Amino acid sequence: MERLKDKVVLITGGSGGIGSTAGKLFVKEGASVVLADIDEEALKKAVDEIGNPEKVKYIKCDVSSLEDNQKAVQKAVDSFGGLDVLLANAGIEGEVKPIVDYPLETFNAVIDVNIKGPFYGIRSAFPEMIRRGGGSIIITSSVAGLQGTGNVSAYTMSKHAVIGLMREASKEGAPNKIRVNTVNPAPVDNRMMRSLEKGFDPDGSGNVKENFESMIPLNRYADNIDVARLMLFLASEESSYITGTVNPVDGGMTA
């Protein structure tokens, strides 16, 4: 259908499960895509898996750096002529620890990536989107942005924070036809959840995955593609009247 025909998309966290899946889907739908991530080898692999070198480029990027975000936007401009969509997807899970024991170094890293990253991304993308006459920004939040879990305070705090960022940015972007929304996945069947499962059950004696799935009415984790399809809708003109919204893709977990 080419729902993103002639659109230029920048995806942070572009080598991860959701980011690379979204990149592949967006290219299939006609977009030109820049994947940005801190892991260059994983980026190369993601580009190879998409298999369309004319339509997908990559840049090594630490989203906790404003300069790196600016370079990533410039990569999209230099490679494809502009920027229409920012998928601010990069994120880290931190550790599973109670607040009183939470390592401050880890806390600061989560805040730097999960909160400062989207802020810097939006700050860098707005001028180019204004020049293009509008755009769509999608921030990956989480069901952890809508409720507490326990023992993942930095992650939960960060995912609540980006909803506030989205609401502010949607107000500021609207006069220039820039839409801003969040996507809030339930547990997704990828690397991050393997890490969190291990954190909740270090000795492997429990049934962490089954316990999480029991909290989801559809009784399964999301697949990466489940999340990417919602991102596609928000990136496309089909959602041209949607901004300032929180969009769970959670199998009914927050119902």
State the catalytic residues. 155
How far is Cα 54 from Cα 189, in angstroms, rounded to an integer? Answer: 30
In contact, 146 and 248? CB cutoff 8 Å = yes
Q: Which long-range contacts (CB under 8 A, 24 or more apart) does 71-79 make?
A: 72/10, 72/12, 72/34, 72/36, 72/121, 72/124, 73/10, 73/124, 73/125, 73/128, 75/10, 75/34, 75/36, 76/8, 76/9, 76/10, 76/34, 76/128, 77/128, 79/32, 79/34
